[in-house]
A and B are shown apart, each in its own frame.
Chain A
Amino acid sequence: MQIEFQNISKTFKSIKANDNICFSIESGTIHALIGENGAGKSTLIKILSGQISPDTGSIKLNGIPLKLGSSNEANIKGIGILGQDPLDFSNFTVLESFVAGNPTSYFIFSKKNVSKKISTYLTQFNWTINLNALVKDLSIGERQQLELIRLLDKGTKVIILDEPTSGFSLEQKEKVFETLKILAAKGFTIILVSHKIEEILEICSKATVIQKGKVVQSIDLPTEPNNLISLMFGTQDLKPTKLSNISAPIKSQEITVTIPASFNSYENLCPEVSPLIQIPKNIILGVSGLQGSGADKFIQTFQINPNNISLEDKSLINKFNTTYVPSDRLEKGLFPDMTIREHVALTYNKKATVDWNEMWDLSEALIGKFGIVGNPNSIAKTLSGGNQQRLMLSLISDSTELLLMEQPTRGLDIQSANYVWDNLISTKVNKVLTMFSSTDIDEIYEYSEYIICFFNNTIVAHGYPIDLTKDITMQKISGN
């Protein structure tokens, strides 16, 4: 089925997620959709599958316009998504899960017929899965294979794979890719959303690169990997960073960061990466990596084990002078049902009793200083994302020596993001180390004085921005 995107635009609040997207996907091909996190891939996929409707634009399937904004319609037209997490029932057997997940579920079903049907697919693709095994005992790869069968059984003609291979073993990946090639040859249209360059080059015949909501280019594959990477991350405007860190690094190496062994398991692949990082005090350390690369996990390990960071003068980094600011603000960072004043009391009140008047004054002072829109009695969950982040900044006590920020500007608008960074830069001198993770490579290069690159739960490179250039980082975090 040939798919044609015409002038698709979608704006969320003030962010243009899709900006006049036009391109087409030929029938019987495997087409890659690539771009950074937040480039607008998911939005486009959601529009195609009818989960959201675009502000403007249309989609044509084989020249016939698709009714947008209806997932039912997309279903009928045979558009199906294979997501990152398999949708199945972990306590069921494979067979039961398959029946339960079928929209035209049978009131009475014959185990024999269903198992025959699944077996036909399995032999066709040369897969082996025990139908009586419990779903929870299968690997992620096997569960995705089942999910693919379920989609095909539903009559899906356009298969969208949204980063399906995270958690796959190499062997399974080969099997699934082989199947995808067979399906494409049979006339199925397959869209692969990914940021793993090698995968794309392996099976796709064409790729459309999206950046900041716009189509950069649709190019025929194969091509040079570097070519794709530079398209993906955009033209390299090496604007001077705010911290003028291009100048030679200071040689007084006062802090030693020991990389926990679990992040260093790639010995064979990256022998050049040293497990000790020596850096000066009072700097901002950026941990770069795409979503799920392990960068966030790395940040979290220092909350549990702050003594992986040691200082030359032997002064101590411990749990009490470490502050961790998670990216899930309402999940792990705040108490959604508590007021600003209660958060302030939890952080700053060191006495056994709480003087709520004193806390009110302190809250008002912090609200003023950090520009939070609200009053001391505002409940955390009613604040906007930007204000929640400001509240979290206001709760970083002055005694903090190690600040761990997990994706500090995730989901924030530009104004709030700038505020966060102004604050972090102005307070970094009071701290031994400010460490942050980000999936946005521009943010990493704008603010970091030292950079660690993550791919697949492993540190693949680290260095000063002057040595470790943006190009190298891009290559490294995409696994090249």
Chain B
Amino acid sequence: MSMYQNIFKNIITVLISVIIVTIVLFALQASPFEIYATLFDGAFGNLDKLSRTMLITSIMALTGLALVITFSAGLWNIGIEGQVLFGAIGATFIARSFLGNLFIAPIIAIIFGGISGGFLGLLSSILKTKFNVHEIFGGLGLDFLASGLIVYLVIGPWKREGIASTGGTDLFPEASWVPNIGNYNFPIFPILIMLTIFILLYFLLNRTSLGLKLIATGLNSNATEKFKINSSEYIAYAFIIAGVVGGIAGSIQATSIYHKLVPNISGGYGFLGILIALIAGKNLSSILLISFVFASIMVGGVQLQLRLGMDSSFPYIIESVFVLAWLITRASNIDYKIANYIFLRR
């Protein structure tokens, strides 16, 4: 299936899912079109809202993309949450150091954040391959370690002058903030980073020997020996790459949104990334699409409560119905059949 066909298939899946959500909304005696209009306005109504939606999209997409790599290698990288946190810690370290005042500080912070996340990923792989700790347990342990470390840093060595609160560290020097273009706070750089990483990972999985061997390790680890693939090595690569991408997501949170380190800086996007990756099923372009839909519902959903007086859980209901509809559509292969049918007719 070509890349275009793939994108086309994704669009069909979204359409079918939206139809199903609409039917459910009718059944709930809500007015779907009013809800969609409110959601749309809430998510894209003005530049501010659009910026917020796109920023959340890019962070969700990054964690989702990271997980496609580990899922391709047959690994459950539960440690992604910790890798995001480590990324934020790494970025904070740079921002607080003498480098934080440099012109290129955001770049260094994001790179170092990626390295920090990659380091935690490497630990997961070492635990798995050297000490035989399943990656789910190892990852969960490292998640706790990372969140413990953040709390320690925030109320300990990196606390604000005179106060020790979990409210976060001092704001970073402004040189370390990811800049905006002009007066708009549109997240152009996070989006560019997301797209760059998407292209790099697409290339990695589809055009490189490393990507092929990584997928092979995930498909049948019994056969790797025959093909002279050192599976431990490729497990390590998968974890490091996922860790770097997760770490970059964390450093964007720190340098672009909070401008400081706070204990819950990951915003749960690591765990959400697992859900997104599971829905997308190892498909990189689906990750972007689903992240975008999730972010839109999340940002626009606020307006449902404010304007239509709906319960605050309503956006989650829409989100979960969407997820179910997506999964059912994918499992039934209807989207594939329609995409194929239309492509063949052309």
Contacts and interface: CB of A to CB of B under 8 A. Distances in A.
A303 B219 CA distance: 22
B210 to A, nearest CB: 7
A422 interface: no
Contacts of A325: 226
A333 to B, nearest CB: 6
B310 interface: no
Contacts of A345: 209, 212
A353 B227 contact: no
B244 to A, nearest CB: 18
Interface string B246-281: 000000000000000000000000000000000000
A381 to B, nearest CB: 10
Contacts of A326: 226
A335 B229 contact: no
B332 interface: no
B223 interface: yes
A352 B226 contact: no
Interface string B7-19: 0000000000000
A423 B220 CA distance: 27
Interface in B160-211: 207-210
B218 to A, nearest CB: 10
B216 A346 contact: yes
Nearest to A350: B209
A394 to B, nearest CB: 13
Contacts of A336: 219-220
A349 B209 contact: yes
Contact of B216 (A331, A338, A354, A356): A338
B330 interface: no
A251 interface: no
Contact of B209 (A319, A338, A351): A351
A342 interface: yes
A40 B219 CA distance: 35
B213 interface: yes
Given A346-B213, A354-B207, A335 B223 contact: yes
Contact of A320 (B223, B228, B229): B228
A336 B215 CA distance: 12
A345 B212 CA distance: 8
A319 B228 contact: yes
Counting chain B residues whose Cβ lies within 8 A of the other chain, the interface size class is 10 to 19
A346 B222 contact: no
A346 B208 CA distance: 10
Contact of A335 (B219, B225, B228): B219
Interface string A337-348: 110001001110
B232 to A, nearest CB: 15
A352 B210 CA distance: 7
A324 B229 CA distance: 13
A325 B210 CA distance: 23
A346 B217 CA distance: 11
Given A346-B229, A347-B227, A332 B209 contact: no
B267 to A, nearest CB: 35
Given A320-B228, A332-B226, A353 B209 contact: yes
A352 B228 contact: no
B208 A333 contact: no
B72 to A, nearest CB: 12
Contacts of A290: none
A331 B222 contact: yes
B246 to A, nearest CB: 24
A284 interface: no
A368 B216 CA distance: 25
A1 B215 CA distance: 57
Nearest to A329: B223
A311 interface: no
Contacts of A342: 212, 216
Contacts of A351: 209
Most chain A C-beta atoms within 10 Å of own C-beta, residue among B212, B213, B219, B220 = B220
B219 A352 contact: no
Interface in A340-388: 342, 345-347, 349, 351-354, 356
Contacts of B228: 319-320
A326 B220 CA distance: 14
B216 A335 contact: yes
Given A326-B226, A332-B226, A354-B207, A346 B219 contact: no
A80 B173 CA distance: 80
B219 A338 contact: yes
B311 to A, nearest CB: 44
A88 B226 CA distance: 33
A196 B209 CA distance: 49
B208 A352 contact: yes
A353 B208 contact: yes
B226 A354 contact: no
Given A335-B220, A338-B219, A354 B212 contact: yes
Contacts of B212: 342, 345-346, 349, 354
Contacts of B225: 303, 324, 332
Interface string B221-244: 011011111000000000000000
Contacts of B222: 331-332
A334 interface: yes
Most chain A C-beta atoms within 10 Å of own C-beta, residue among B208, B215, B220, B226 = B226
Contacts of B227: 346-347
Contacts of B229: 346
A347 B226 CA distance: 10
A338 B220 CA distance: 10
Contacts of A320: 228
Nearest to B208: A353
A471 B222 CA distance: 38
A362 to B, nearest CB: 14
A333 B212 CA distance: 17
B208 A332 contact: no
A324 B226 contact: yes
B230 to A, nearest CB: 10
B187 to A, nearest CB: 32
A209 to B, nearest CB: 37
Most chain A C-beta atoms within 10 Å of own C-beta, residue among B208, B210, B227 = B227
B83 to A, nearest CB: 25
A326 B227 CA distance: 11
A334 B223 contact: yes
A389 B316 CA distance: 52
5 contacts: A319-B228, A332-B222, A338-B219, A349-B209, A356-B207
Given A346-B212, A346-B216, 13 more contacts: A325-B226, A331-B222, A332-B223, A332-B226, A334-B223, A337-B219, A337-B220, A342-B216, A345-B209, A346-B213, A346-B227, A349-B209, A352-B210
Q: 7 nearest interchain CB pairs?
A: A335-B220, A332-B222, A335-B219, A346-B227, A353-B208, A337-B219, A353-B207
Interface of A: 303, 319-320, 324-326, 331-338, 342, 345-347, 349, 351-354, 356
Interface of B: 207-210, 212-213, 215-216, 219-220, 222-223, 225-229
